[in-house]
Amino acid sequence: MSASAHRLDSVCVFCASSGDAPKPLMAAATQFGQILAHAGVRLVYGGGGIGLMGACARAAHEAGGRVLGVIPAFLTQREAAFTRVETAIVASMHERKMRMFKESDAFAVLPGAIGTLEEAIELLSWRRLGLHTKPIVFYNPDAFWDPLFALFAQLERQRLLPAEFADCWGQVDEIEDLLPALRAATPPESAAEPIAERA
């Protein structure tokens, strides 16, 4: 399948908002923002100006990239909304996630905590239910996400998940491999489908 048959204009990044994140993770988020900008791919993210999310957005913006932040009004102070880029202020976390979903062609999951985990699991649930075919790829430095992957394997061993669930997501160990992995997993435009409103 040629690259021209694939649609990857916007990538949503889920990642930590903690300003205490380790420096290597902050550096990787910065690098990924630059990668997206240089590739002409819009970054869609949670709208904050701190932590990995802030580093990624700031880097994409400073490299001349397109950025859309989506943040609930109640988090604009707590997560220091990065208003130097296009920012949509929404009413709730649910509206935030749906807007980010609709604005994105694929999803990159960088290291994060409860919020990142919740976002990733919901996306995987929607994918498992057949509500979308958009790629989901985890950046897994130093085996960061291995405990989650081990849980998936446990669920499969207990026959609570089918083996094909593993086809719902991918992983890379190096940040420079993340965008190529998302491109490779992006379905042709004819196969792309928006999430059904039945979700």
CATH for 107: 3.40.50.450
Residue 55 lies in a domain: yes
Q: Which of 112-121, 179-188, 189-198 has the lowest mean pLDDT?
A: 189-198
Task: Say which DSSP state 105 is in.
Answer: S
Helix (H, G, I), strand (E, B) or coil at 81: strand
Starting at the edge strand found earlier in the chain, the sheet holding 106-109 runs 86-90, 67-72, 42-45, 10-14, 106-109, 136-139, 170-172
Q: Is pLDDT of 5 > 50? A: no
- Asked whether the predicted pLDDT for residue 112 surpasses 70, the reply is yes
Residue 2 lies in a domain: no
Domain count, the chain: 1
d(CA 173, CA 52): 17
Q: Which tokens in the block code for residue 44?
A: 């869609």
177 part of a folded domain: yes
**Is 194 part of a structural domain of the chain?**
no
pTM summary value: 0.91
What's the pLDDT band for 141 if we cut at 50, 70, 90? very high
* 181 contact partners, CB below 8 Å, separation of at least 6: 135, 137, 170, 172
Helix (H, G, I), strand (E, B) or coil at 33: helix
Is 108 among the domain residues? yes
Query: 124 pLDDT exceeds 60?
Result: yes
199: part of which helix (H) or strand (E)? none
- The domain of 160 spans 7-185
d(CA 41, CA 57): 12
